A and B are shown apart, each in its own frame.
Chain A
């Protein structure tokens, strides 16, 4: 019962966050005035500007625009692309799968590699392996993702000719972009796992288990991992936002037909409504994922879980 109430509370919170985020997205893009002047260029006459304004609804008072924006949003309508005239939602939907594919693979790679690396580094704390892994993780967070992608392309596609440099096709095309993007969660997850493991290893609980005579390795993995899993789960949720941002640049490097290239197109075409729709959609994804993570947390967190069993 406690879990149910917890979930309800989290759901309500997510909804509020979503509404606030969408509103923020609206106000930020409209804060800067309307884009009609931008769209028509320097040589536009006042009449042309006024006409375009009216056509696109930018001449209405801001509050009214906000109202219709939220209204449309509630109906799942993300507006129409200023450039192509198509429904923004449809445009996004056509590209979303490619991005999800890329992001998911990158996240999985990052976590699957990051956790063992973090554990290993914690086990060899202070020694060479730990310092190498930690330094690499720090380095990983100082490198622009898209540049890493370019370097990988240089090395593996051009020089060695092992892997294709993007576009989509079979799994081979996914390798480079996914690996590139995976460095973001990899660096974070390995650092966090290492820190979390390092903390719990010092726990008296572990000392007690050791005293009971369990083998060294078993102690490490079973007990410490369980305790360390909680913060990692939370991190995964938070990482999604950063990963989405990273994905945009990575997709540009590899000409991956996902949301990233859609965003770049929107930028080039000054397609304000599409950009706004992307922001809202991105927020929506982020909130959903976070909600999922929080619910997962509720299941894993012993305090809430035990109350459930009563």
Chain B
């Protein structure tokens, strides 16, 4: 399991409760995350699988200190971001970065790519990568020509790479990818997956890969957690989970994947 010193992420008994209006009068508590333990070692790619409503989005947002935390402990590289606020929190955010599902929705439509990157530089002058904007883009396979463009002028795949650049330039310890390939074409998906792999190799990055696409998770992740209705029902090495799933829900999910996809996944898209 590895000692806690090399753990990039340590989550203990995390609970996230939202209050929803079911009727016009009452507000009912919704336990999006109901007591989850999770950890990620340095250099691991860990998958988080589940259907919509399983709580995986709430979990990932909580870990990224973007979402509500009702109770529990979250430690990223030894810091507990949920106990921070203000300037120190903003500084510490560089440790855990996030890439979102809709690549275009994550970028300010009025800002050019270049000025967006420069803004991040200004916010984290001490921590940010010393590479130039051009070099950063080349690293993810983008042409520096897009620096002067606005998000509406680039494709979804390009926008997603830009988001990854924005995340990586802060040299985080942990990168959370929330359904990063759902909005993209199959071919582009493969490229993004490869990019994640190379990021892990080149930078020693740890990745929490949230997805409902089992094939991709199997292909990319070392370990995985399976979530259902706010709790983790199964976890462990990806290979073991897929070959001999223990929980009935896991079995259900795996069976739902058409066999053809699994074969393609195995052959390495």
Contact = CB atoms under 8 A, between A and B. Distances in A.
User: Looking at chain A, what size class is its interface with the partner chain?
Assistant: under 10
A5 interface: yes
A9 B25 CA distance: 9
Contacts of B25: 5
B22 to A, nearest CB: 14
B24 interface: yes
Interface in A2-21: 5-6, 9
Nearest to A9: B24
Contacts, number: 4
B269 to A, nearest CB: 43
Interface residues of B, number: 2
Contacts of A5: 24-25
Interface in B9-50: 24-25
Q: Is the interface of B mostly helix, strand, loop or mixed?
A: loop
Contacts of B24: 5-6, 9
B34 to A, nearest CB: 31
B148 to A, nearest CB: 41
Contacts of A9: 24
Contacts of A6: 24
A238 to B, nearest CB: 23
A13 to B, nearest CB: 12
A5 B24 CA distance: 9
Interface string A190-232: 0000000000000000000000000000000000000000000
A232 B258 CA distance: 53
B23 to A, nearest CB: 9
Nearest to A6: B24
A1 to B, nearest CB: 11
A5 B25 CA distance: 9
Interface string A156-194: 000000000000000000000000000000000000000
A7 to B, nearest CB: 12
B25 to A, nearest CB: 7
Nearest to B25: A5
B12 to A, nearest CB: 42
A287 to B, nearest CB: 21
B175 to A, nearest CB: 45
A6 B23 CA distance: 12
A310 to B, nearest CB: 14
A236 to B, nearest CB: 25
Interface string B252-263: 000000000000
A6 B25 CA distance: 10
Interface string A69-107: 000000000000000000000000000000000000000
A9 B21 CA distance: 15
B97 to A, nearest CB: 44
A276 B24 CA distance: 36
B199 to A, nearest CB: 50
A6 B24 CA distance: 9
B230 to A, nearest CB: 31
A33 B24 CA distance: 43
Nearest to A2: B24
A12 to B, nearest CB: 12
A213 B25 CA distance: 45
A5 B26 CA distance: 12
B204 to A, nearest CB: 56
A242 to B, nearest CB: 30
B215 to A, nearest CB: 40
Interface in B161-206: none
A302 B25 CA distance: 20
A102 B108 CA distance: 53
Interface string A1-45: 000011001000000000000000000000000000000000000
A272 B24 CA distance: 42
A201 B140 CA distance: 52
B247 to A, nearest CB: 41
A9 B24 CA distance: 10
Interface of B: 24-25
4 contacts: A5-B24, A5-B25, A6-B24, A9-B24
Pick the 4 closest A-B CB pairs, nearest first: A5-B25, A5-B24, A9-B24, A6-B24
